[in-house]
Amino acid sequence: MQNELFFWTKFPESDQIIFGQAKADFNPDNKIIIKPFEGKIINYGISNLRIQEINLIDNQFQFLLEENKKQVELDYKNSVEQAIQAIKNNEFQKIVLSRPKYEKLSEGFNLIDYFKKLASAYPKAFVQLIYFKGSHAWIGASPELLIKLNNSNEFESVSLAGTKKSNENINWTQKEINEQAFLNQRFIELFKKHSVNKYVIEEPQTLNAGPVEHLFNKVKWRDNQFNLMQWAEKLHPTPAVGSYPYELAHKIIPKFEKYNRELYSGYWGFSGDYNLLFVNLRCAKIFSNEICFYVGAGITADSNSEKEYIETENKLKTLTQWL
């Protein structure tokens, strides 16, 4: 990963955009944190608020585009069917399977304008654009807070699962309720393991994320034992992007997906003046004339491969409708 980047960020419930430059070999108080799904955490020290012209390099995606879309769909549905059978064989209880979606960009595409559209469209999301100097960019509009430090020992997170179209006037099904129960249980297990006695899991709520809605709970706790980054590593990967049991995620997900998630479903955010990290969902990797979206769905014993594929298509609209 490159040593220098430029960033644009819009925090949830904020109408302000912060932007600047950061370097991997610089160590001030304020840092950008980037964690891939697999691999080490990288800290980029924020050096100043100067924006450089974006110069994305050409033709870096080594894949087929239009002619490969049907195969991607077939491969994804096949992986879902295999996972459902593994769940029924009691190998695990839940897995999130993802897939890429590749598109060509129009000649008039402007990355900063695209970021501003997402920032305006999703006021409750963490919207971030990171440009790795002279190479490529990542952009995302995440609804999932991984962790936030409210003060010296008060932490906040969410357990987020379940998806339905925003215009569907239907109640949450038992499948989504079961997914949510998996996530809440994960927090309870962590708190018990680390002797955290002061915690609150709030009642389920519905979070609007543009074309889709999610079922989620806010989770708050007090702890003097671990800091922001230590808790982040304990929570990553969340069951919303991993598996249940969660400790199996890095082992079983590659078995079904067979591609590199890179920054998708890792986490990114800030430490210093802003102590908060978000799971990198609803995101895309961008080169000069190509974009690769990443999207996933939670698979349980009650899943259906066709419905899960449709769910991923609905989630993709979070980003694709603003191109």
pLDDT band at 61 (very low <50, low <70, confident <90, very high): low
According to DSSP, residue 202 is labeled P
3-state percent breakdown (helix, strand, coil) of the chain, nearest 5: 30, 35, 40
* Structure confidence by residue, pLDDT tens digits, 184-193: 888 999 999 9
Q: What is the mean pLDDT of residues 230-240?
A: 92
| φ, ψ dihedrals at 228, nearest 5° | -55, -50
pTM, rounded to two decimals: 0.91
* Structure confidence by residue, pLDDT tens digits, 271-319: 998 999 999 999 999 988 889 999 999 898 989 999 999 999 999 998 9
Q: From 17, 45, 51, select the one nearest 32 (Cα to Cα).
A: 45
* Structure confidence by residue, pLDDT tens digits, 91-125: 998 899 999 998 888 888 999 999 999 999 999 99
Helix (H) or strand (E) holding 267: strand 267-271
Q: What is the mean pLDDT of residues 37-64?
A: 77
End-to-end CA distance of the chain: 26
In the predicted model, what is the mean pLDDT of the chain?
89
Residue type, 45: G
More confident residue, 296 or 62: 296
* Structure confidence by residue, pLDDT tens digits, 78-87: 999 999 999 9
Helix (H) or strand (E) holding 222: strand 212-222
